[in-house]
Structure 1
Amino acid sequence: MTSRRFKFIGALAFSLTMATPAFATAQDAYSLPEPFLSMEKSYLKDSPDLQKIMDVMIETATRQVKDPTQDILHNRLCSALVYKMASEESLDAEERRLAVAGDLLHNIAKEEKEMVLTDPAQMSSAREMVTELKSEGYFKKSPQFWSDEQVLTNPKIGGNRALVHHITGGVMAGDLLKQVGGYSGKEINAIRAAIVEHSTGYWYFRASIDDIAGKPGAWESVYPEPESNIAKFAHDADLISQFVPESVVPDGSKWRMLAQKRWGAKTTQEEGHIVYYVFLRLFEEAKTAPGKEMARERWNTIKPDLIKLMGLNQDQDPIKVLGVPKVFAKQS
């Protein structure tokens, strides 16, 4: 951990232990819609100590970016989804607590500029964490994870926070949890492992790793499969959170802009075609029963609008009519 981040974490932990109760919580400044707000209130009632983790997440996000609203709302929405899924699957109270704590912190390093694996100090911290987690039995279903450090330190991979924030996030979350207190070493490692395993379902990240490394299966060194309940819920919540019509369908929305800027869409039809294909495959990545159900429900909401964007009839299969988008053809 660098000196600057250590000082921040120490100061943050001190402020959390010394601060007197306020009339409003930190999250009140960011309006979370229903039903997610009610879910959030439920888990904070069940485990009041999660407010400290909420405060850590919000204070970190406000330090990292000029306008943290979307990052904070994403983390809160995902945590609410995790709580819902964990409750539906009848996880015990302690496991639900760990699941929510981990999900509040799952993106903690995504905007932390120094948290890249091309930095030798960060790489060393990540290697140490992974070694410890493997020694405790994590990542058994992913024998190739961390097997090729040349892939991990490739500047286009290890230097890209979007591709490796799940790893650096595990490191940073562990440091924060130790400073905040209230979590045993075993609990912290369970949360760390869940964060490390939360990004695997983003199939286009996996494809990017293979393309950059120039060899199939290179992604397995970077993305381990989610194994524990809390890892699977974190994984599914992050996927499901993307299925928001407002960020997928309207002109200028997040995903249509990504279709243009990341994948080269030139027309409305191409935008719809690319986004349709991305979400069709994301929908198939959910790992849990409640995750699959929620993904299907949200997919059925956005699917008709995407078909309309492509200028097709609702009874037409876009992949049969238009094929796989050219940008993804070699990955299908």
Structure 2
Amino acid sequence: MGHTASSMLAESWPAAPKYSVDDVPDLTGKVVIVTGSNTGVGKEIVKALLNRNAKVYMASRNEDKAVHAIEDLRRLTGKEAVFLKLDLADLKSVKAAAEEFQRKEKELHILFNNGGVMFPPIDEVTADAYDLQMGTNVLGHFYFTWLLLPTLIATAQVSPDKHVRVISTASVMHYLGGLDFNTFKDGPARRKAGSFKLYCQSKYGDLVFASELARRYGDQGIVSMAVNPGNLSSDLQRHMSWLEYRIMALGLYPTSYGALTHLWGGTSPEGVEFNGKYLRPWATVGSPSPDALDPVLGKQLWEWMEEQVEHI
């Protein structure tokens, strides 16, 4: 069995978790952003963080849904998250969100780049005409992180352990991905690729981005890692057909499981050692697709993304 097949099997049906939300340390004084967090894995991450006294910004596109989620979490935890309006599929919205956060806060200790979209109709693109999956899952998160870099670096300098953490959500599907720059914007190549391949590409891109962020800013205190949260039953499957979902559901786990690896990487004492690492279910270090770690590819993607956002 090849590396790809064996890795996908191991990550799709992992052993029972040894790590739990009870292992998250006290986070009093920590400021955290979780994108895409009014539902699914993101909401579970926020709940665990609130239970450990973090100040959490729920960065979401839909304010009504976010307000409802914030109230629901307040009932469950006794703590209240802060809404931050963020549409990852609109670069101007991304810029506005970063600026709004920086007006309110001087520090950012943990950034969970969790939001995403999977298998949308091929006609759907971002506000800036990028493929919706690449534009949301990768470019939107890159721009948000890029804008927040001054805050992250400044926070690392004054933190006791001299580190902050950025956790980017990848997927087991990255093993089936690669980067075809001709498909990043709408056109014949993108439409020929199809939604499934474009999703795998975006998750591969998340890993390439996380690795390049680690290379560029690890010496300034940023600990960047990519996380496969596991195969989960969540709102992410909303674009799938009933039959597709029923087939996939045979191997899906509850969304509460999906928060475990993120929380381990984002809050555990050992997490400061995870710069450039790929974490897999449940709370273990994995071995990603080796070519996604190629520094030449990382530089190419980073520079392309910088070119896309420099005039926003």
> What TM bracket, shorter-length normalisation?
0.3 to 0.5
Identify the structure with the greater strand proportion.
2
Identify the structure with the greater helix proportion.
1
TM-score norm. by structure 2 comes to: 0.34
Structure having greater relative contact order (Cα 8 Å, sep ≥ 6): 2
Larger radius of gyration: 1
